[in-house]
Each structure stands twice: as C-alpha cells, then as structure tokens.
Amino acid sequence: MTAYALLLEYDGRGFVGWQTQPNGLSVQQVLEEAASKLAGGAPVAAAIAGRTDAGVHAIGQVAMITLERDLPPQRLREALNFHMKPHAVVVQEARLAPEGWHPRFDAKRRRYRYIILNRSARPALEMGHVWHMPHPLEAGAMAEGARFLLGRHDFTSFRASSCQAKSPLRTLDRLDVRRDGYHVIIEAEARSFLHHQVRNMVGTLKLVGEGAWAPARMAEALAACDRAAAGPTAPPDGLTFISVDYEPPVF
C-alpha cells in the first residue's frame, strides 16, 4: 500500500462540497472515483485537510489517498487529472505521503481568503467567486473590528449549530481586512477553524463595514458565546481554501 499526498484545486460551484452526500456531486466523489479507476475498480477513500461546504473553492487543499499500486507521483497526478475531466477539480501536485502522515490531523496552519465585491454592479467575470455587496463598506473599520477576534477564544458565537468539533476554543492567528479597488479581501489563518467560522466572522464584519456595528461590538459578540450575538453567515461564493502547512512541509 502506498499513500500519496495531493495538492488540489477546485471550483466549488456545482459541488455539494468536499464531503460525499446523497443530494449531488461532491469533490470527494470525483476524486475517489478517479482513484478507483487506478485501483482496478476497488473503492479508494480520500482524507482531506479541511472539508469545504457547497460553493466554497480551493486553490491549495491537501488530500491523501492510498493505493495498492506503486505509481510514480507524477503519473498518478496525470492519471487522476485525466479521469476527473471534465469536472472543475485538479491535482496540481502529487507526492509520496510521509510515513504516518494525515492531512487533517497533522495540519499546523490553515489559510482562507474571502472576497467581497463592493460595487453597485453585480459580478460578471467573478460570478460565483465573490460576495456582492452593493453598498460601500468601510474596510478600515472592518480591519479594526477583526483585531478583537485575534488570539485564543471560545468562538461559539461564530460556530455553526451543526459544528461537530469537541471544543469551541480556537486560536485565530490572523484576520486581515484590506481594500483593493472594489474588492474587500479578508484573510484568515489558524491551526484549525470551527464549521462556518470564517463565513460567520465575515458576515459579522460586514455589519461593521456598513456602519451598523461599531468595531468594538465584535468583542461583545465574541464574549457572548452565543451564535445569536454575531451576524449572519456570509455566502460560500467568496470563500477559498488557500493553503495548509505541515512540519516538515509536504508541498
């Protein structure tokens, strides 16, 4: 048996998310079915660094599959990419997985990016890849509000009710907000995130950006440890899983 680490890129539109579900096509299913073709039809199970919801994208997601066959990683990548056509999922790189390595449990740091298109006109070129907010957002105030969430906290207020993590404690290492033309870009970094944590933080920062909340209210929302104290969940479209770090690095 040989374990491979895979660096994945996918467009979340058209998928029910990473995880296989009865109601549509998942990224996992596309990958596992392609891998199964290389295993003579035997089922292949894939593990992932960070599960993503329907509509969420990835440019540096990391997965692991295990095959009976010993294939050169480059050939594995090409074969998987061939079999995953025409779906919007590709293996950018494949490596032999380090001994005993797991993409989820060994992740030291994960990065997400969220893009808001902040202009009157709806998106044309970026449809499905941004959250459209027609009214002007104050990115400086959002950045100020974001700083209240940094560090180790109980993030219950920003956690989906469906979240299965044992503890709501997380350490948020980075939550930057900046404006680039009519884009407002939010970058988040942590060892791990709760379910919907990034989208709930973004949905709440949007309240700060439009002036409905003072920046310091982010601290109150956090301290409340109550989902109802924070803002709504931002849509998946603007969210991309950027990268994940391992020690030693895998890619």
Binding string, residues 74-113; x marks residues near a copy of itself by CB under 8 A:
x--xx--x---x--xxxxx---------------------
Distance CA 180, CA 116 (A): 10
Q: Which of 59, 163, 225, 229 binds a copy of itself (CB under 8 A)?
A: 59
Among 57, 153, 206, 217, which residue sits at the site for a copy of itself (rule: CB under 8 A)?
A: 57
Cβ 5 vs Cβ 101: under 8 Å: yes
179 touching a copy of itself, by CB under 8 A: no
Distance in angstroms (rounded) separating the CA atoms of residues 171 and 191: 7
2-10 and 89-96 strand pairing: antiparallel
**CB 236 within 8 Å of CB 54:** yes
Binding a copy of itself (rule: CB under 8 A), the pick from 100, 125, 161, 162 is 125
d(CA 160, CA 247): 29
Residues annotated as catalytic (active site), given as ranges: 53
Q: Is 112 annotated as a binding residue?
A: yes
In this structure, what DSSP letter does residue 31 have?
H
> Quick one: 225 or 242, whose CB is closer to a copy of itself?
242
- Residue window 7-46: x/- pattern of binding to a copy of itself, with contact defined by CB under 8 A: --xxx-----------------------------------
CB atoms inside a 10 Å sphere around CB 72 = 10
CB of 164 to a copy of itself, least distance (A): 28
**CB of 51 or CB of 119, closer to a copy of itself:** 119
Angle between helices 217-224 and 197-209 (to 10 degrees): 150
- CA torsion through residues 43, 251, 113, 152, sign: positive
The interface mask with a copy of itself, positions 153-172, x = CB under 8 A, is --------------------
> What is the spatial distance between Cα 79 and Cα 34, in angstroms, rounded to a whole number?
8
Which residues of the shown chain bind a copy of itself in the complex (CB under 8 A)? 9-11, 57, 59, 74, 77-78, 81, 85, 88-92, 119-125, 127, 129, 240
Which residues participate in the annotated binding site? 112
